[in-house]
Structure 1
């Protein structure tokens, strides 16, 4: 039976239109050998589909269905390897559970009269906690400390299937994708490409001498929880990448680095209790912010055919939308030029 919510837009990569909670429960039971009690709680996630489930004996688990086309099984295995390495080093993370074959990535294929889609998925223990709002110097030192521990583990292996955070590769690829798929409004495309190409050329040399390693990749404060009695917990390694360690530092800051000197110093003090930090890479913070802005545009674009996205953001991609996004990119490019006069 066809989905009545689906428009005449061709089925794109990355659609969740075929995945239902019932299909998710059946897939988890089949792959992991669990007996579930039927509880299904959808979690808010704009990239993946995430469901809270409960086993018959009362244990809560979280099933994550990864957006199709985003990661290969090999890339997902490297994400899980990093998390398991952290767990082995007694760093609090929600490490993936093995299925009946000992693997942490399972596969589900669903089809109807109109389309077929394959989903990779994994199951994690549910580990609750509260948001950790750093309010004191000691809090910022604690955040730096758990990052230092995580990065010490991250440097112990390579990850050859994950994204490498270089502007001339990663960010330029997102710009090409947005342009080639004609996502950018025609009246804005030339200006968008120009500001991105100019800024990428400006910032790319700054990354030449940086040390790259496995990092969390999306280490904002919402992904670090406080569990009283157990300490801080790092969650959601979905954007794990190979990047300079400062990538995980800057996302924790409440504003521009120039306005967050105290927080930054305390972060680094905590970090350096476990491993050295190259302070020269602080000059990458504002370039990384520009790169994240482009990244976010590309990932929103990959969701634009999802039914829920079209309903929630009917004006996404309009000319007015792109005029504002380009103005934001231009503002950030100006910040970079002002802070890095030696390379402009």
Structure 2
């Protein structure tokens, strides 16, 4: 596999062959699903419902980390929590084929939740509390953390090394990102120690599928250890929405409300990480096609201004 095109060899035929090697019988129907970090396909199966095949980005996670993700998903399902977990075939959930690692999951449909609905937000809050109670049982051993090293330092390095950033913006970016880093560090220090647990890690509305029976959750690809509020803030558009989430959450689990002061820091970390993620993946042809704005000077200039605003919001000097 080429480092310049990590999925260059992932052809439709290879996808079908990989699923067949797991003992299933594809009927030839393939539908690529929206995913940039990995490659995900819906695969039709003869005389059965389709499955979703997720091919992991080479080199991102170790096998041990992926299996820990799968084990967490299985633990949630065993507790009757609505997680779409990988299928276990012949006792395995992680498969290898043609130089790629992949997992299969049942296809589950749904729509995005309404983040303006207090009822739906309370429902989500109750579910997140149950998930966090399970997540608090034991730590991750092989997966990452919600920390500055992962979400600020590494993305900063990727941006500074990227040809995407105009020469005249490099120095300004370095100053802005450093201000954010210092402000985030100060905010975490001011809040003090908080409990870290196993999290979904990327619990935005696109990873919640709502049906008439209620929601279910997908994609633990970013599961990592961190504070509980990390799984809440992306579902709350404003203070009222967070109140609704917590109304549901606290029916099942105590919530340390001092963590709410971390939300601006977590938002800032996500902004830094987003730019670094695009910069580090630009060699993947899917990224220039999906994020063409990152090839324009004005986007990086606006990103620098946004980082300064985030630092100001956090009270940086």
TM-score by length of 2: 0.92
* SS of aligned partner of 1:41: strand
Gaps of 5+ in 1: 1-9, 110-117, 255-259, 338-342
**2:94 equivalent in structure 1:** 105
Which of the numbers 10, 15, 20 marks the counterpart of 1:29? Answer: 20
Which of the numbers 153, 160, 176 marks the counterpart of 2:157? Answer: 176
**2:307 equivalent in structure 1:** 329
Q: Deviations over 1:211-258 (max 9, x none)?
A: 1111111111121122213x210111111111101001100112xxxx
Which of the numbers 234, 239, 249 marks the counterpart of 2:217? Answer: 234
Flag the 1:225–1:252 CA change in 2: closer, same or farther, 3 A: same
**1:243 equivalent in structure 2:** 226
What is the rounded CA distance, in whole Å, between the counterparts of 1:134 and 1:177 in structure 2?
Answer: 33
What is the rounded CA distance, in whole Å, between the counterparts of 1:225 and 1:142 in structure 2?
Answer: 13
- How many positions carry a matched residue from both structures? 314
**Structure 1 residue 58 and structure 2 residue 42: aligned?**
no
Gaps of 5+ in 2: none
**2:64 equivalent in structure 1:** 74
Q: Deviations over 1:262-301 (max 9, x none)?
A: 2111111111111111100101101101111111112212
What is the rounded CA distance, in whole Å, between the counterparts of 2:4 and 2:61 in structure 1?
Answer: 12
Once superposed, what is the RMSD of the aligned Cα atoms?
2.0
Equivalences for 1:1-344 in 2 at 5 Å? 11-12=2-3, 15-30=6-21, 32-100=22-90, 102-109=91-98, 118-207=99-188, 208-229=192-213, 231-254=214-237, 260-337=238-315
**Contact 2:236-2:245 at 8 Å conserved across structures:** no
Q: Deviations over 1:192-228 (max 9, x none)?
A: 1222122212222443512111111111112112221
Flag the 1:267–1:212 CA change in 2: closer, same or farther, 3 A: same
Flag the 1:279–1:14 CA change in 2: closer, same or farther, 3 A: farther
TM-score by length of 1: 0.85
